[in-house]
Amino acid sequence: MRIKVSSVARAFEFVGRGEVATIVVLALAFVVPFTTSSPLVFSLTNQILIATIAAFSVYIMLRMDLLSFALPAFMALGGYAIAVAAKAGITNLVALLLISFAVPALVALPLGSLVLRLRGTYFVLVTFAFNEVLQLLLFEMPAITGGSNGIAGVPASTFLGMVLSSNQAVLFVTCVIGVLAAIITAGVTAFYRREFAAISENETLATSLGLVTRRYKTIGLAVSTGVAGLAGFALVNMLLTAHPSSFSTLSGFSYIVFAIVGGRASMMGPLLGAAVLTTATLFFSSKGEYSPALYGMLVIAVVMLARNGIAGIRLPSLGRPHVEPRADAQLFKRAGNTT
Amino acid sequence: MARLYCAAMVASVLALTQICSDANAQECEAKVGVVGPMSGGAALWGISARNGTEIAASEYNQAGGLPMGGKKCKVVVVSYDSKYSAEGAAAAANNLASQDVSVIVGPLGSPEATGIKPVAERNKQVTMNVVYAKDAIGPQWPLAFHAVPGPGAWAKPVVKMAKEKFDLKSIVVVAPNDQGGTDTATVAVDTYRGEGIDTKEEYYQRGTTNFAPIVARIMRSDPTAIDLCTSPPGDAATLVKQLLEAGFKGIFGRLGGAATNEIIRAAGGIESLGNFYWLESVNVDPARLEAIVSAQKGLGQSPGDSTVVAIFAASGRLAMKAISNAGTSSDGVKVAQELRKLPLDDPWLAKGDWTGMSAYGIRQEFGFPVGMGLIVNGKNLGVTPISVADQ
Amino acid sequence: METAVSAGIIGIGLGAQYALLSLGFTLIYGILGVINFSHGGFYMLGGYVAFAVVSKLGLPYPVAVIAATLGCAGLGALFELLVLERHIDDHLATMMLTMGLYLVMGTVLVLAFGTEPVEFHSPVSGVWRSGRIYVPYANLVVLCACLAAIAGIYVLLYKSNLGRALRALADDRPVATALGLPPKILFPAAFGVATGLAGFTGALVTPILSLHPHIGDSILTISFMIVILGGLGSVVGAAVAAFVVGLVEAYSSIYLGGSIGALTLFLLVLATLVVRSTGLFGRQVRAA
């Protein structure tokens, strides 16, 4: 196993074992639609894949130390875009993939030029406002978005003449989107690993050393929102409906929790976080009114016990060494604390 | 490396225990699913759905079981929290399908119904939703049933009666700005206008806690009446309190879900409330209220809204009767066939008619009588039953 | 125009309530660098503690308010000491932890008090009217209490030793620590002050509105908005921004409607940040 992985890794300079492993695991998901027919397994796999793609979107931004709460807004842009397109007759899978990636990315570009100037927590909180604005816009423009009812009865996608509407086909499409999103995520984080790391460590220093941080932040934002759009496509495809309640601020929190609890150091993090927490949510749903508390306690437990997320629990044999805590925190450890 | 595998194992074990736990039952079981929001703002409804269905189940279980396929089987209620979202409901349906549950009581929120219908259709599961959406049921979902009469059925008779009792010259309809609000508000507005009443609609951001600005806006147009529509009980109570503070002396209406007690309390009593008309989603005879309360006590359930519990007990009973007649609880198509033949006669909800043709294009709505409550000049005149028929 | 005056009165009332809430939020952020997702939870808890004291123990309302404040302060300080302290440098971790706390708090309140609104009235009743303009007396009491609390916080932060220590930690934690200020005591204290404020606000405001386990959700959004608008870590900024937001909300909701009013508010915040990227009074901010 190690020999095979390292030879693939040699092909790309910065693609770490974490990236390759994640893509391999996601590719393995293709096995599911062909070996079982249990609706539960389909549903769970679908949900985990969608959650993973959304968590990838968060992960790309986290590589630049930027946290974006606007994820549901861009998922909605992707999801609604393909809903409108499919209802207008464009159902080819490839076309829909392109639309769901391009629409949010194109919207993100001008927005990025406005908000990427903001540092740290301001950026975080502004993305929070984005989401609220988008929900309100969805409501106020019923002609395009169906208003509070959303767009129901979205036609299934087609490819080479096949209509992909059965349970298996829907999961198959989600797997395709998952692997595509993983490749894009791996690609952008590997290709720009140095630039993103510089921005993340100390942006002022990077700029003063000549790095055009604005350009890389914009690229990162555009790709991140494109991946979010892919997640939106997968979600609308699973439900055959584009509904405002699927893109709520609460769901945005969930995806961020997956990425952080899973671990920010490697691409395995979002995958693990999404897998474990989605399964836990499903399990807790049968406990009725206790489910939010159980989920909250699980999150607290993981954060308390696993400093670098679930992916960081094990020895650093997958992925690069983890991102060091901030420089000043290390230098000025408070007396008596063992960090 | 070991810990990574552990995490993966834990996750898969969690999933598997869900699948396996119910497969261990040795005796025969008739499974009925309940899907609804059991956490979050609409939790009371979801929990009441579960409670009502469990009451229906206990009625059969205490008599030895549900006759199914020649045997007497234990009725097992399997419930899932759908968190008031489309994908929550879809996931719940899939989860239930893999446990061989083909009859679902619920769901309750408009987003949930939207999410569950295509999935339930694929899985061949019967659903009995309680939403006031325009597309609550339809011919494209032959296994979807509507457990209560929708606004299409009750809006006209209720508004007509309100117009008889009160001088409704102008009205403002207030609702939250999501599907739960717009579904009913749009029908209410059309109906009021159809009766010649000058009608305005005001939508507020869901999550608002202080309605003073909305109140000021409403007061500007000086309406004779205000319809609180389907705003949640907490919001409705605050609105009423603040409207009275602002000096509103007109008529209050509520063509939406149960909130009467909260509204009366917020106003500071029936006399301060003055004039109020409200919809009871189904009509429950005061005599039967006792039976509901004691049934809940008997099962150790915390008391909820009796009307809501009654709705789900009725649906639960119908579901179980249909399962019994079909001889199976895992064939949705068969159960639906039997369900359609059943007369709508419930010990708590009285007799109803199958309706839905004119509103949805498919006659699969449990048209139980609704009720209209009236408080006129500070006196509670009680609830009048109103039969619904296909308009 | 009577409506315009009414709008102004409503806006100021809203502003005072928001100011108390966002002061706590900005304190926690400024001093500890923590984005407190459980802020709404402490607001609700304050309301429920006050309700329980009044209805179950039969004690007078002012006692209930004090009990709520102290209870929330204590719980907050304890949570910081036991849970947050170890992860205080990792902003994302603290975000997750406070989010988890909020979920647990919400569920506990539902289990203890039910999902429906409870009957919790202000002891003060009656409304002052002049033509169409009105002010409920209870709202006046709340307004005065809010202003008094804001003044109290100002005195605490700028005129007391504790306040000086907290501000020093907010300004430059490494140096302040090196100079001997004990973070082990001051951090829980700061967190406790903020959560106590949230509890105090809850105990005051919920009787004039409504009390149920879901009022906390929107508290977070509004606190975020105000704190960004005012500038992170700036106490003056938070107070000013709170009144700005209260007035904007009042006027836009009355003249434009509830939904569009909310949209206006968010767009205003976004526009302000585009023009001034650190908010109205903000200073250089640490990264998230």
The model's pLDDT over C105-151, given as tens digits with 9 standing for 90+, comes to 999 998 899 888 888 888 888 888 888 888 888 888 888 988 888 88
Report the pLDDT averaged over residues A65-87: 91
pTM: 0.84
Please state the domain extents for chain B: 28-149+285-351, 151-280+372-386
What local confidence, expressed as pLDDT, does residue C284 receive?
A: 52
What is the average pLDDT value for chain C, to the nearest integer?
87
A contacts of C93 (beta carbons < 8 Å) = 260, 303, 307
CA-to-CA dists, residue B114 to A76, A229, A336, B79, B289, angstroms: 17, 21, 55, 19, 32
The residue to which tokens 């959700």 are assigned: C217
Q: What is the pLDDT of residue A318?
A: 47
Chain C residues inside the 8 Å CB shell of B202: 257-258
Q: Among A336, A264, A257, A256, which residue's Cα sits nearest to residue A307?
A: A264
Give the single-character DSSP code of C206.
Answer: G
The answer to whether C281 and C230 have CB atoms below 8 angstroms apart is: yes
Interchain CB contact of B269 with C (< 8 Å): no
Among the partner-chain residues B43, B203, B237, the one whose CB lies closest to the CB of C110 is B43
Instruction: Give the 3-state secondary structure of residue A91.
Output: coil
Predicted confidence (pLDDT) at residue B76 exceeds the cutoff of 50: yes
Interchain contact C93–A (C-beta under 8 A):
yes
Check whether A7 has a pLDDT greater than 50: no
Q: Beta-carbon neighbour count of residue A197 at 10 Å?
A: 16
10 Å Cβ neighbour count for B244?
20
Report whether A50 contacts A235 (CB < 8 A). Answer: yes
* Over residues A98-127, mean pLDDT: 85
Whole-number pLDDT of residue B101: 93
Residues of B in contact with A272 (CB under 8 A): 4, 7-8
- Helix, strand, coil percentages (3-state) for chain A, rounded to 5, are 75, 0, 25
The predicted pLDDT at position A104 comes to: 94
- Domain spans in chain A, listed from the N-terminal domain onward: 2-322
User: Which of A177-191, A321-335, C47-61 shows the lowest per-residue confidence on average (mean pLDDT)?
Assistant: A321-335
Span A2-322 CATH architecture: Orthogonal Bundle (1.10)
User: Which sign, positive or negative, has the C-alpha torsion B229, B231, B237, B238?
Assistant: negative
Phi, psi at residue B176, to the nearest 5°?
-70, 155
Same fold, B28-149+285-351 and B151-280+372-386: yes
Q: What is the mean pLDDT of residues B28-37?
A: 92
Cβ distance C169 to C286 under 8 Å?
no
| Minimal CA separation from A286 to chain B, in Å | 5
- Residues B176-230 pLDDT 10s: 988 888 889 999 999 999 999 999 999 998 888 899 999 999 998 899 999 999 9
Tell which C residues from 54 to 83 touch A, by Cβ distance under 8 Å. 83
Across the interface, do C209 and B209 touch by the CB < 8 Å criterion?
Answer: yes
Is domain B28-149+285-351 in CATH 3.40.47.10, yes or no?
no
Q: How many residues does chain B have?
A: 391
The CA distance from A293 to the nearest CA of chain C, in Å, is: 4
The pLDDT value recorded for residue C97 is 92
Closest CA to A327 of A215, A192, A204: A204
* Multiple choice CATH, C2-275, 1.10.10, 3.90.1530, 1.10.3470, 3.40.1010: 1.10.3470
| Average per-residue pLDDT for chain B | 87
Provide mean pLDDT across the span B144-166: 91
In three state form, how does the secondary structure of chain B look?
A: CHHHHHHHHHHHHHHHHHHHHHHHCCCCEEEEEEEECCCCCCHHHHHHHHHHHHHHHHHHHHCCCEEECCEEEEEEEEEEECCCCHHHHHHHHHHHHCCCCCEEEECCCHHHHHHHHHHHHHHCCEEEECCCCCCCCCCCCCCEEECCCCHHHHHHHHHHHHHHHCCCCEEEEEEECCHHHHHHHHHHHHHHHHCCCEEEEEEECCCCCCCHHHHHHHHHCCCCEEECCCCCHHHHHHHHHHHHHCCCCCEEEECCCCCHHHHHHHHCCHHHHCEEEEEECCCCCHHHHHHHHHHHHHCCCCCCCHHHHHHHHHHHHHHHHHHHHHCCCCCHHHHHHHHHHCCCEECCCEECEEECHHHHCCCCEEECCEEEEEEECCEEEEEEEECCCCC
Contact A65 C287 (CB under 8 A): yes
* A218 Cβ contact list (under 8 Å, min separation 6): A109, A112, A113, A116
pLDDT for A313 equals 66
Determine what percent of chain C is predicted with pLDDT higher than 90. 34
Per-residue confidence (pLDDT) for residue C4, from 0 to 100: 87
Of A171, A172, A178, A174, nearest to A53 by C-alpha is: A178
Place of tokens 């920010």: A264
- State the smallest CA–CA distance between residue B351 and chain A in angstroms: 32
Q: Which residues of A touch C183 (CB under 8 A)?
A: 334
Which among C35, C39, C92 is the top mutation candidate for probing chain A, defined by the most A β-carbons within 10 Å of its own β-carbon? C92
- Which residues, 6 or more positions from B154, have their beta carbon under 8 angstroms from its beta carbon? B279, B370, B386, B388
Peptide bond into B139 cis (omega under 30): no
Angle at the Cα of B22 from the Cα atoms of B16 and B23, rounded to 5 degrees:
85
Fold type of domain B151-280+372-386: Rossmann fold (3.40.50)
Residue A53: the pLDDT is 95
Confidence band (pLDDT; 50, 70, 90) for C261? confident
Q: Give B68's strand partners.
A: B71
Question: Contact B156/B191 with Cβ under 8 angstroms?
Answer: yes
Under a CB-based contact definition with an 8 Å cutoff, are residues A284 and A295 in contact? yes
Across B99-112, average pLDDT? 91
Query: For residue A326, what are its two tokens?
Result: 């901030």
ipTM over 0.90: no
CB-based contacts of A71, cutoff 8 Å, min separation 6: A54, A57, A58, A131, A228, A252, A255, A256
Q: How confident is the model at residue A13 (pLDDT cuts 50, 70, 90)?
A: low
Pairing of strands B370-376, B275-280: antiparallel
Write down the pLDDT at residue A54. Answer: 95
The whole-number pLDDT of residue A14 equals: 66
Give the pLDDT confidence score for residue A334 in this predicted structure: 40
Which positions 24-83 of A are in contact with C (Cβ < 8 Å)? 65-67
Segment B252-273 shows an average pLDDT of: 87
- Which residue in the set C129, C214, C255 is minimally distant from B41, CB to CB? C214
A138 has pLDDT over 50 = yes
Average pLDDT over residues A150-163: 83
- Is residue B200 within 8 angstroms of chain C, CB to CB? no
Residue-level pLDDT at B8: 57
Which H or E run contains A158? strand A158-159
Rounded to an integer, the average pLDDT of A106-128 is 82
* Residue A322 · residue A265 · CB < 8 Å: yes
What tokens appear for A254 in the block? Answer: 């969930």
What whole-number distance in Å separates Cα of residue C73 and Cα of residue B101?
A: 48
What is the reported pLDDT for B26? Answer: 47
Subunit contact B208:C107, Cβ cutoff 8 A: no
Question: Distance between terminal CA atoms of chain A?
Answer: 34
Touching subunits for chain B (3+ Cβ pairs under 8 A): A, C
pLDDT the model gives residue B7: 54
Confidence of residue B11 (pLDDT cuts 50, 70, 90): low
pLDDT(A8) > 50: no
Q: What is the average per-residue pLDDT within A131-144?
A: 84
pLDDT at C32: 82
A325-334, B19-28, B362-371, C1-10: which is most confident = B362-371
Closest approach of chain C CAs to the CA of A24, in angstroms?
28
Banded pLDDT at B116 (limits 50, 70, 90): very high
Which of A1, A49, A139, A245 to mutate: most B Cβ within 10 Å?
A245
> Is residue C21's pLDDT more than 70?
yes
Q: Return the pLDDT at A291.
A: 83
